[in-house]
Amino acid sequence: MYKRRIIYGYLIALVAFTGCSTAPEDEAVARVGEKTLYRSKLLEILPKDISRDDSITLSNDYIDKWIKQELLIQKADENLSAEQKDLSAELQEYRNSLIIYKYKNELIKQRMDTTVSGQQIEEYYARNQANFNLSSSIAKATFVMIPTDLANPELVKELVADTSPEGIDELREYCGQYAKKANISVDEWINFQVLKKNFPENITDDEAFLSGKSFYEMNDSNYYYLVSIHDYKLSNDLAPLEFVENNIKNLILNQRKIRFLKEMEENIYTEGVRQKKFKIYDTKTN
């Protein structure tokens, strides 16, 4: 009953501020103990150009969550000891962690070299090939799914077979008009597990499928499917460099970041020693 009165009271207030621009923005809309929720807070969370009904729904939801949170805080405050409620140490630790994190990020943005050359990527790949075995098969493939009543198999096969830039553009244009789904990855590696989910047939042996033929035609009651395998690598094969290039770049940058931050901490310590910014006391007792 209490919640209904709160919401009903707010709906009246909501109508007032949506229909009258002179209504005071800091009118109270809910109260729990000594805590008060004001209309100005609701105005902050409401998106611009929201409809009246949506604003009512969103506002009432916010009020409901605010009341539950404040009641929980009140209950916790009543039942925890003063020692348990003393958060000064935790807050100080959190502040320290946050300010150090922000400082490190600012230093990284300002001073760390984030350029990774192609040569660096190639050298890392050559040194760490054992770490780049594929966990699943990948392929360069073209997949087309066209409604049966629109499909022209001979034309589709002819378009798919032409892997020149002009041919790919023509295939994309054709698929844009007629295909339900299409994936044209002549020069890009894709995960074969993702691709084969679109097939009407269940492929259980990736190696047999990928190494068998370059063209596969499939049909179901509604669609004609064409799959063209341009290249492939099987699970446990060494991943092609271009497939893992971005991962290697991120690995190099992460290692560089670790070294940078370690050097930064050591430099700050050295500066502290030189400028006598700290002192270590002898705590030995005789």
Please name each of the domains of the chain with its CATH number.
2-80 (no CATH), 129-233 (3.10.50)
Backbone angles phi, psi at 240, to 5 degrees: -60, 150
Instruction: Provide the 8-state DSSP code for 219.
Output: E
Neighbours of 175 (CB within 10 A): 22
| Dist CA 198 CA 91 (whole Å) | 52
Q: For residue range 133-182, what is the model confidence (pLDDT) as tens digits?
A: 999 999 999 999 999 999 899 999 999 999 999 999 999 999 999 999 99
| Dist CA 21 CA 28 (whole Å) | 17
Q: For residue range 229-239, what is the model confidence (pLDDT) as tens digits?
A: 999 999 999 99
Inter-residue contact 196 to 110 (CB < 8 Å): no
Using DSSP, state whether 215 is helix, strand or coil.
Answer: strand
3-state helix, strand, coil in the chain (%, to 5): 55, 15, 30
Q: For residue range 194-246, what is the model confidence (pLDDT) as tens digits?
A: 999 999 989 999 999 999 888 999 999 999 999 999 999 999 999 999 999 99
